[in-house]
């Protein structure tokens, strides 16, 4: 079980005991599959389920009244989809699979049951939600304060670090199903601007974004350029022993 992506991720916060691992396993009862492009969490819907992503990528977003869309974040294996939605009367956002995905469905009673069995697992889930919030905060800082090229570099470094935690990336790069259109919608850039920014990073010898791959050509120089400090991802090993 600790080999699942969520188990690996939570391991960065808490060294789970055998009964805690079993409580985490009990959350993985109902496996489901969703195809790319069809929403599984729906903004405005009540009694929405949450999901743990086992494989594939997803994107969470909000639709404005005028139809504009703002991407909030991308989800990778080990991430919750719609965790807020299961606690709220109505879901405040939507989640769409970027690729075909495998998930486990979670309803409010499942969460309550797991919380009753082990308070440390409850803390770990609070930690994961807090880490999600820390990432949204960084995206807010990015849109509010970072110049476009730096914002792009920071964002792709963040994705790389998150993927590394679940064994899907390294300082060399990662497999990436996102399009330039996804990046534009997440970073508040036009398609033309996104293309220009990615070309710049490639010409500077720092990063190559290709269909299906992000390659860090010079990780250290890229991290320095983006002033990337991964403290907010809190991946340096368990605080709760």
Q: Give yes or no for residue 120 binding a second copy (CB under 8 A).
A: yes
Please give the size of the binding site for a second copy, defined by CB under 8 A: 50
Of 21, 27, 83, 98, which one interacts with a second copy (CB under 8 A)?
83
Of 1, 35, 134, 172, which one interacts with a second copy (CB under 8 A)?
134
Of the listed pieces 28-36, 99-107, 138-146, 168-176, which binds a second copy according to CB under 8 A? 138-146
Q: Are 136 and 186 in contact (CB under 8 A)?
A: no
Q: Give yes or no for residue 191 binding a second copy (CB under 8 A).
A: no
Q: Which of residues 44-73 bind a second copy (CB under 8 A)?
A: 44, 62, 64-65, 68, 70, 72
- Order the strands of the 94-97 sheet from edge to edge: 69-75, 58-63, 94-97
Contacts 24+ apart (CB under 8 A), 234-241: 234/12, 234/13, 234/127, 234/131, 234/134, 235/12, 235/161, 235/165, 236/12, 237/12, 238/11, 238/12, 238/13, 238/14, 238/15, 239/13, 239/14, 240/13, 240/14, 240/15, 240/120, 240/123, 240/124, 241/15
Q: How far is the CB of 72 from a second copy (least distance, A)?
A: 5
Of 3, 18, 38, 145, which one interacts with a second copy (CB under 8 A)?
145
Q: Give yes or no for residue 84 binding a second copy (CB under 8 A).
A: yes
Q: Which is nearer to a second copy, 83 or 103 (CB)?
A: 83
């Amino acid at each position: 079980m600790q080999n699942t992506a969520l188990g690996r991720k939570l391991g960065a916060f808490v060294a789970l005991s055998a009964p805690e691992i079993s409580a985490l396993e009990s959350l993985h009862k109902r496996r489901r599959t969703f195809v790319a492009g069809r929403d599984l969490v729906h903004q405005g819907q009540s009694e929405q389920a949450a999901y743990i992503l086992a494989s594939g990528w997803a994107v969470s977003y909000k639709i404005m009244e005028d139809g504009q869309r703002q991407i909030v974040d991308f989800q990778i294996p080990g991430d919750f989809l719609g965790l807020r939605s299961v606690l709220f009367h109505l879901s405040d956002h939507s989640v769409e699979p970027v690729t075909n995905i495998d998930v486990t469905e979670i309803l409010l009673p499942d969460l309550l049951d797991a919380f009753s069995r082990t308070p440390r697992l409850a803390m770990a889930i609070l930690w994961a939600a807090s880490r999600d919030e820390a990432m949204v905060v960084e995206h807010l800082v990015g849109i509010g304060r970072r110049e476009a090229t730096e914002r792009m570099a920071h964002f792709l470094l963040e994705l790389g670090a998150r993927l590394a935690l679940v064994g899907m990336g390294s300082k060399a790069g990662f497999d990436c199903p996102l399009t330039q259109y996804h990046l534009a919608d997440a970073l508040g850039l036009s398609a033309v601007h996104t293309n220009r920014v990615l070309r710049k990073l490639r010409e500077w010898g720092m990063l190559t974004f290709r269909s299906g791959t992000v390659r860090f050509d010079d990780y250290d120089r890229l991290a320095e350029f983006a002033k990337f400090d991964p403290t907010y991802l809190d991946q340096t090993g368990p605080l709760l022993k």
